[in-house]
C-alpha cells in the first residue's frame, strides 16, 4: 500500500486547452523538452525543420497544422511523472476535448497575448469550472505586440469567470519585451530573442525591486514601469493559496513565449509543486478514491490506426484507483467478461512502450479488436459506471454512401471503427436503412473522408440531409411508444448501439413532436442510457 501511495503522490495528469493557434502544441513540445522526452524542438508548421511537432502524429494534422486527435504524452521531471493530454483546439473537435477533460486532474489554459480570450476557450473553461478543475493560465507570445497585462487579467476574470492571480509579470512587450519578473521566486528572467531552442534563459535574483540592478538590466523606463505595476499587483490580487487553487477558486497566471522557450520552465516548476495528484472519480454507484487497493479505470478515447501499417485500434484508459498490471484478468463491466492485456502501452506521442504496471493518474493504451466503447469501465469485478462522458447531440448531418461496391467490407469496417472512436455519430434510418453521419463541426466530414481513403482504402460519398437535430428518445409506456413509432416512422433512426433517435428537420418539428407525444422523453446527450 505504501508503494501505491508514493506512486500516486508522484503523478500529475493535466490537459492543455486553448483556441487554435494560441500555441498549445508548441507549449506541449517545450514541456517535453524539459522532461528530456525529446531532444530537439521541431518548430510547428516551419519548413526550416521538416520534423513536425511530436504530438501531431496523424497525417491530416500535419497537413493542416491543427491537432484533431487528443494525444497522450508522459515524461519524468524531478522525480514527478507528468502525464499531458493535449487536446484539439479546433471547435469542430470539441467533443473529443470535453471527453478528455474527464480524464485529467487539472488544466493549463493557453491564451494568445494579442487575441485575448477567444470563444472556444470560454466553452472549454466552462466545462472545467462545472467540475471545479484547478486551472493555471499561460499567456503566450509575449515577443509579439499584445494587450496590456492588466486588461488581459480583467478579460480573463470577466469572460472565463476565473479569479486570477499573476505569478509572474512581463517587463515590456513585443519590441520592448525584456523578460518576465517571477513574483514568487523574486527573480528577473531576461529574454534573449535568439534562444529559440533550448538555451536556458538568464536569471537574476532581485529581492528588492528598488535595486539599481533592475535599471541596469532593463533600462530606467521599463524598470520604473515594473515597480509601479508590481505595487498595483500587490494591492489588488490576493496571496497565493494552494488550497484555493486546488478547489478551483483561484487561477495562477504566467506570462511567456512558448516558441522561444521562455517562461515555460517557471510554469512547469510551479505546476509540479502546486498541481493536485490524482483525484477521486465519481461513478453512478459511489466515489472511487485513488488510494483504494483494487484497480478501476475508464476508457475516454479510442484511436484507430495510430500506426497505419498495422490496423490497430487503441483504447485510452485513465487509471482511477489501485494498480493496473500487465497480463492480469480484469472485468469489462459493460460486456460482463474478463479480459487481460499482454501489451498495454504508455505514450510519447507516437512512440510507444509496453508498461508492466500503471498507477492512478496514468493513461494506458490497450490494443483493442472492437471490445471497447467510449465510457467503458474496467474493474477487478465491481460493477461501476464512471460519470461525465457525454455523447453530444450532433448538429450537422449527411447521408454517407459507399462509392465503390467492391470495397463494401472496408467501407463498413472503417465507418464502424471511426464511429467507435467518437469522431462522429452514426444513425441508421429505420424506414430504409440509410446511414446518416452526425457531427458537431463540419471539418469532421473531411477527416472521415480522408481517413476512410488512407486507412481503409474505402471511398465515401456524402449527400445533404434536411436534419437539424438528433435526440435520443425513451418512453415508459409501451403503447404510447408504439403509436409514436408508427406516426413518426420517417423521422426515426437507431444509433450504433441500437438506441432510438428522433431526427428533427427543424426546431419547430421537434417542438411539435414533444407537444403531440407528452409521454415520450427527448434527450440531448446520450448519458441517460
Q: Which of 274, 305, 329 is the last residue of a domain?
A: 274
Tell me the average pLDDT of the chain.
82
**Residue 522: exposure state from Cβ atoms within 10 A (0-12, 13-18, ≥19):** middle
Alpha helix segments (H runs only) across 39-180: 59-64, 94-100, 119-130, 149-160
What is the average pLDDT across 36-63?
48
Q: Which of 235, 254, 274 is the last residue of a domain?
A: 274
Residue 288 lies in a domain: yes
Domain check: are 330 and 437 in the same one? Answer: no
Nearest to residue 279, comparing CAs of 294, 266, 268, 289? 289
Q: What is the pLDDT of residue 217?
A: 79
User: Could you read off the pLDDT of 331-349 as tens digits, one per residue?
Assistant: 999 999 999 999 888 876 4
Domain check: are 498 and 357 in the same one? Answer: no
Q: What is the pLDDT of residue 361?
A: 93
Overall domain count for the chain? 3
Cβ atoms within 10 Å, residue 381 = 10
Residue 82 lies in a domain: no
Domain check: are 256 and 307 in the same one? Answer: no
Domain check: are 159 and 209 in the same one? Answer: yes
* Residue 188 or residue 155, greater confidence: 155
- Which pairing describes strands 187-190 and 179-182: parallel, antiparallel, or unpaired? antiparallel
Q: Are the C-beta atoms of 15 and 85 separated by less than 8 Å?
A: yes
Domain check: are 347 and 482 in the same one? Answer: no
Domain check: are 212 and 332 in the same one? Answer: no
What is the average pLDDT across 46-57?
45
Residue 81 lies in a domain: no
pTM of the model: 0.75
User: Could you read off the pLDDT of 208-235 as tens digits, one per residue?
Assistant: 777 777 777 778 888 888 888 888 888 8
Question: 499: domain CATH number?
Answer: 3.30.70.3280
Q: Calculate the CA dihedral of residues 70, 72, 73, 74 and round it to 10 degrees.
A: 150
Residue 254 in grid coordinates = 504566467
User: Could you read off the pLDDT of 78-89 as tens digits, one per residue?
Assistant: 889 998 887 765
The position carrying cell 498490471 is: 325
Residue 244 lies in a domain: yes
Q: What is the pLDDT of residue 250?
A: 93
Domain check: are 132 and 246 in the same one? Answer: yes
Residue 388 lies in a domain: no
Question: 140: domain CATH number?
Answer: 3.40.50.300
User: Could you read off the pLDDT of 456-501 as tens digits, one per residue?
Assistant: 899 999 999 999 888 889 999 999 999 999 889 889 999 888 889 9
User: Could you read off the pLDDT of 269-294 as tens digits, one per residue?
Assistant: 899 999 999 999 988 899 999 999 99
What is the average pLDDT across 152-168?
92
| Angle at 158 (CA atoms; ends 157, 164), nearest 5 degrees | 5
User: Could you read off the pLDDT of 400-434 as tens digits, one per residue?
Assistant: 999 998 999 999 988 988 887 777 889 999 989 99
Structural domain harbouring 503? 396-528
Q: Which residues pair with 75 in a beta bridge?
A: 82
Domain check: are 270 and 285 in the same one? Answer: no
Q: Which of 259, 274, 289 is the last residue of a domain?
A: 274
Query: Residue 67: pLDDT above 50?
Result: no
Domain check: are 286 and 270 in the same one? Answer: no
Amino acid at each position: 500500500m505504501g508503494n501505491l501511495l508514493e506512486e500516486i503522490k508522484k503523478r500529475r495528469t493535466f490537459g492543455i486547452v486553448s483556441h487554435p493557434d494560441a500555441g498549445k502544441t508548441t507549449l506541449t513540445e517545450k514541456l517535453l523538452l524539459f522532461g528530456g522526452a525529446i531532444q530537439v524542438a521541431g518548430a510547428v508548421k516551419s519548413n526550416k525543420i521538416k520534423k513536425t511537432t511530436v504530438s501531431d502524429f496523424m497525417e491530416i494534422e500535419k497537413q493542416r497544422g491543427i491537432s484533431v486527435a487528443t494525444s497522450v504524452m508522459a515524461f519524468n521531471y524531478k522525480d514527478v511523472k507528468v502525464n499531458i493530454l493535449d487536446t484539439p483546439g479546433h471547435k469542430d473537435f470539441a467533443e473529443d476535448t470535453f471527453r478528455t477533460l474527464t480524464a485529467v486532474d487539472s488544466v493549463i489554459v493557453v491564451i494568445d497575448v494579442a487575441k485575448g480570450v477567444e470563444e472556444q476557450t470560454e466553452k472549454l473553461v466552462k466545462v472545467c469550472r462545472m467540475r471545479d478543475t484547478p486551472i493555471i493560465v499561460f499567456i503566450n507570445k509575449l515577443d509579439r505586440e499584445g494587450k496590456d497585462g492588466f486588461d488581459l487579467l480583467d478579460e480573463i476574470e470577466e469572460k472565463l469567470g476565473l479569479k486570477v492571480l499573476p505569478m509572474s509579470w512581463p517587463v515590456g512587450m513585443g519590441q520592448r519585451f525584456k523578460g518576465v519578473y517571477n513574483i514568487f521566486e523574486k527573480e528577473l528572467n531576461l529574454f534573449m530573442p535568439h534562444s529559440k531552442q533550448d538555451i536556458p534563459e538568464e536569471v537574476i535574483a532581485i529581492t528588492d525591486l528598488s535595486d539599481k540592478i533592475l535599471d541596469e538590466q532593463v533600462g530606467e523606463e521599463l524598470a520604473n514601469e515594473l515597480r509601479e505595476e508590481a505595487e498595483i499587483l500587490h494591492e489588488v490580487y490576493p496571496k497565493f493559496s494552494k488550497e484555493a487553487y486546488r478547489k478551483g477558486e483561484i487561477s495562477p497566471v504566467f506570462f511567456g513565449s512558448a516558441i522561444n522557450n521562455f517562461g515555460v520552465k517557471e510554469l512547469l516548476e510551479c505546476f509540479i509543486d502546486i498541481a493536485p495528484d490524482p483525484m477521486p472519480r465519481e461513478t453512478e454507484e459511489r466515489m472511487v478514491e485513488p488510494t483504494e487497493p483494487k484497480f478501476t479505470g475508464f476508457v475516454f478515447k479510442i484511436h484507430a490506426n495510430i500506426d497505419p501499417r498495422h490496423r490497430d485500434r487503441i483504447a485510452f484508459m485513465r487509471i482511477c484507483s489501485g494498480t493496473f498490471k500487465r497480463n492480469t484478468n480484469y472485468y469489462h463491466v459493460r460486456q460482463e467478461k474478463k479480459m487481460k492485456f499482454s501489451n498495454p502501452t504508455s505514450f510519447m506521442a507516437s512512440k510507444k512502450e509496453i508498461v508492466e504496471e500503471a498507477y492512478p493518474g496514468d493513461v494506458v493504451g490497450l490494443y483493442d479488436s472492437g471490445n471497447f466503447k467510449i465510457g467503458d469501465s474496467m474493474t477487478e469485478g465491481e460493477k461501476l459506471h464512471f460519470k461525465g462522458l457525454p455523447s453530444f447531440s450532433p448538429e450537422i448531418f449527411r447521408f454517407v454512401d459507399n462509392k465503390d461496391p467492391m470495397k463494401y467490407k472496408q467501407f463498413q469496417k472503417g465507418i464502424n471503427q471511426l464511429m467507435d472512436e467518437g469522431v462522429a455519430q452514426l444513425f441508421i434510418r429505420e424506414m430504409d436503412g440509410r446511414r446518416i453521419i452526425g457531427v458537431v463541426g463540419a471539418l469532421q466530414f473531411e477527416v472521415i473522408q480522408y481517413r476512410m481513403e488512407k486507412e481503409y482504402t474505402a471511398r465515401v460519398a456524402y449527400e445533404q440531409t434536411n436534419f437539424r437535430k438528433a435526440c435520443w428518445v425513451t418512453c415508459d409506456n409501451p403503447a404510447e411508444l408504439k403509436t409514436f413509432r408508427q406516426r413518426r416512422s420517417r423521422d426515426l433512426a437507431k444509433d450504433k448501439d441500437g438506441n432510438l433517435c428522433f431526427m428533427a428537420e427543424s426546431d419547430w418539428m421537434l417542438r411539435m413532436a414533444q407537444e403531440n407525444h407528452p409521454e415520450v422523453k427527448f434527450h440531448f446527450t446520450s448519458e441517460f442510457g
